Structure 1
């Protein structure tokens, strides 16, 4: 009986320890105090008021980030289950919140997307390796609630640059020739053009993200941010 009791106590203790380790590993804002990552912050929410941005309750952008604006890379702590928040200027409560793992040594761009009840936080890892000589490098992100759930992004000649890009997803970075980039946005595989958009001149050696935003048919737009 004593042997059974001993094994029972050992099993119970091991189970409690395992649960404790599991809970610890899943805790919110598990900040890596010795690790850092770089984060660029973008407001892609057309009807939002100016925003601040916070990571694990740490102020990254204090205020004033209006739609279409970006804040250049900020070095901050890495960690697991980090709470990322956008807040209206002057507010202590979140306009949109998301929880993400942020790996040490990596580079990310975080977006405020959507409007009102559909507002959300989206985080994408960046590839900042240099473009091929004489080329720019561009990634496309679908953040529009007004556009179809999947879209094709085509050049002025109607050829797909990116096909079947799902909402809240990012394409890989692709090489693009320098110059003005003229785009058309369609529902994936569809024939109705949602709009023609000219992106200001791409420069050789530069890295960009082009994102589609808009919560109504009237405010669909295509915006460009620069990574380097």
Structure 2
């Protein structure tokens, strides 16, 4: 029998098996899974009433004007650097911050006015676990420059009634607490007598309206922002804005 014919038939028999092994080898190479969390960045710094750029590890995520947010952005877990730069010049609004991001956790990052002329950053975890059936959740973030401290949330109806466990100091946040859904006004208050500092109203920060419908299953954040000085413009004065986190 012709020797070349024998080798040719052997090669043809081996070729499908060789291709199959090559294909299996490619499929077996798994893409590494990178652990990630999420951050929603907010521009709440009345002291920097100009557009700013938010960067995570030098990657630009959003350009925000005062009062805007980026929406949740994915970021690799671990030690990460957040920068807030002035959009027009690229100059740092304040020193870069190193934060720790945990796998599968969500956070809010607030650029806020720590003095009338400077900016700082606050990272707080967002517990987006659904409230109990028939309940909503709410918390308070106090970023109101020169406002009383601590502040808390209260409801105003026939009388003022405090929402328990929402008391928080300047540049910090309370935990989320459950509330009854319904239509009512939430006020930010101070002191043992729960003196109103600013009303949430419709939640826009405009001061319009006296009631807001808080829905079952929803998670809300009240942010007190701005400067209590009468010398600043009206849009930079102390206001309470409502964020829906889910």
Asked if 1:178 is matched to 2:181, the reply is yes
Aligned counterpart, 1:60: 61
Tell me: CA distance 1:220–1:117, structure 2 relative to 1, closer, same or farther (3 Å). same
Aligned counterpart, 1:91: 89
Write the mapping of 1:36-115 to structure 2, written as runs, cut at 5 A: 36-47=36-47, 48-61=49-62, 63=63, 65-80=64-79, 82-96=80-94, 97-114=96-113
Distance 1:118 1:66 in 2: 16
Distance 1:125 1:37 in 2: 11
Deviation by residue 1:73-112 (Cα, 9 ceiling, x = unmatched) = 11111222x2212222233221134321112221111111
User: Contact 2:154–2:188 at 8 Å: present in 1 too?
Assistant: yes
Deviation by residue 1:35-93 (Cα, 9 ceiling, x = unmatched) = 211111112223521222111212121x2x1222222211111222x221222223322
After superposing the two structures, state which structure 1 stretch, 177-186 or 217-226, moved more: 177-186
Aligned counterpart, 1:17: none
CA RMSD of aligned residues (A): 2.2
Distance 2:34 2:132 in 1: 34
Deviation by residue 1:16-36 (Cα, 9 ceiling, x = unmatched) = xxxxxxxxxxxxxxxxx9321
Q: Which protein has the bigger strand share?
A: 1
Distance 1:217 1:90 in 2: 27
User: Contact 2:140–2:167 at 8 Å: present in 1 too?
Assistant: no
Aligned counterpart, 2:215: 203
Write the mapping of 1:123-202 to structure 2, written as runs, cut at 5 A: 123-156=123-156, 157-161=159-163, 162=165, 164-189=167-192, 192-198=195-201, 199=203, 200-202=212-214
Distance 2:182 2:89 in 1: 41
Choose which of 198, 201, 223 in structure 1 pairs with 2:241: 223
User: Contact 1:147–1:217 at 8 Å: present in 2 too?
Assistant: no
What count of residue pairs does the alignment treat as equivalent?
193
Larger Rg: 2
Distance 2:151 2:82 in 1: 27
User: Contact 2:200–2:241 at 8 Å: present in 1 too?
Assistant: no
Tell me: CA distance 1:117–1:190, structure 2 relative to 1, closer, same or farther (3 Å). farther
Asked if 1:213 is matched to 2:215, the reply is no
User: Contact 1:163–1:188 at 8 Å: present in 2 too?
Assistant: no
Q: Which runs of 5+ in 2 are unaligned?
A: 1-32, 204-211, 231-236
